[in-house]
Amino acid sequence: MNRLALLSLTLAASCSSIRYDDPGRVETLTIDYGSTDLQSLAGQMVESLIAAPQLNYLDNSGKGDDKRVIVYTGSVENRTSEHIDTEGITDKIQTALLKSGKFRFVADKAGQAQIEEEIRFQTGRVREDMLRQMGKQLGADVILYGTLRSIEKKKGSSLESGGTRKVDVYYQFVLKCVNIDTAEILWQEEEELRKTERTGIFGRT
């Protein structure tokens, strides 16, 4: 009898469930880089880029009446100790900026490779009057690129800390917008994040 009661209580604690959740919810499953960090870092950069008056318009030859800044999205260098897909950050920033209507974008590295492949494919297959060719792309005015760094500190459990292990991670994300013609840095922003984890004898506190 006793065993049955214990078994059913164990079952209650060990059963699993699946549900859809809010993608915008704060996630603290582990101290590692996560979705909330991606959303926070990208979101703050987008706010700053949209608010930057020096990036409202840029007059360059061949642009016609639409003087909005044409952006080439470069890469964000991952200098953290973690494996982070930094294209997730640049994609998120680019999506929000495109929706804002403030900037125009040209295809990034992956897009250019796809274009080259498609043009090669069209040659000899597509009607001559519909054949697309190289040499008509928009010229980007600026490049957006940056660096993500982290500093991680760990302190093992000791009598002094009451058996609690501490981990502290600091992220620094720097993004720059550089004029391709002049190499002048037109805009630069820095965002910081700090996360701490305390693990006691009975798990995270």
Q: Is 203 in the site for other proteins (CB under 8 A)?
A: no
Query: Up-side HSE of residue 122: CA atoms within 13 Å toward CB?
Result: 15
CB 197 within 8 A of CB 31: yes
Instruction: Choose one: 34-42, 78-86, 118-126, 153-161; the region binding other proteins (CB under 8 A).
Output: 34-42
Choose, by CB under 8 A, the member of 1, 110, 130, 159 that binds other proteins.
1
CB 185 within 8 A of CB 144: no
User: Closer to other proteins at the Cβ: 25 or 136?
Assistant: 25
Q: How many residues does the chain have?
A: 205
Q: Is 182 in the site for other proteins (CB under 8 A)?
A: no
User: Closer to other proteins at the Cβ: 91 or 152?
Assistant: 91
CB 55 within 8 A of CB 67: no
User: Closer to other proteins at the Cβ: 53 or 64?
Assistant: 53
Instruction: Choose one: 21-29, 82-90, 116-124, 178-186; the region binding other proteins (CB under 8 A).
Output: 21-29
Q: Is 198 in the site for other proteins (CB under 8 A)?
A: no
Site string for other proteins, 48-87 (x = CB under 8 A): --xx-x--x-------------------------------
Cα(143)–Cα(71) distance, rounded to whole angstroms?
A: 6
Q: Is 12 in the site for other proteins (CB under 8 A)?
A: yes
Q: Is 91 in the site for other proteins (CB under 8 A)?
A: no
Cα(28)–Cα(197) distance, rounded to whole angstroms?
A: 9
Cα(205)–Cα(198) distance, rounded to whole angstroms?
A: 6
Instruction: Choose one: 47-55, 64-72, 73-81, 128-136; the region binding other proteins (CB under 8 A).
Output: 47-55
Q: Is 39 in the site for other proteins (CB under 8 A)?
A: yes
Place of tokens 């013609």: 181
SS3 171: strand
Exposure string of 135-146, with b = 16+ CB inside 10 Å and e = fewer, is eeeeebbbbbbb
Cα(39)–Cα(59) distance, rounded to whole angstroms?
A: 32
> Where along the sequence are the contacts to other proteins (CB under 8 A)?
1-2, 4-5, 8-9, 11-13, 15, 17, 19, 21-29, 36, 39-40, 43, 46-47, 50-51, 53, 56, 96, 99-101, 204
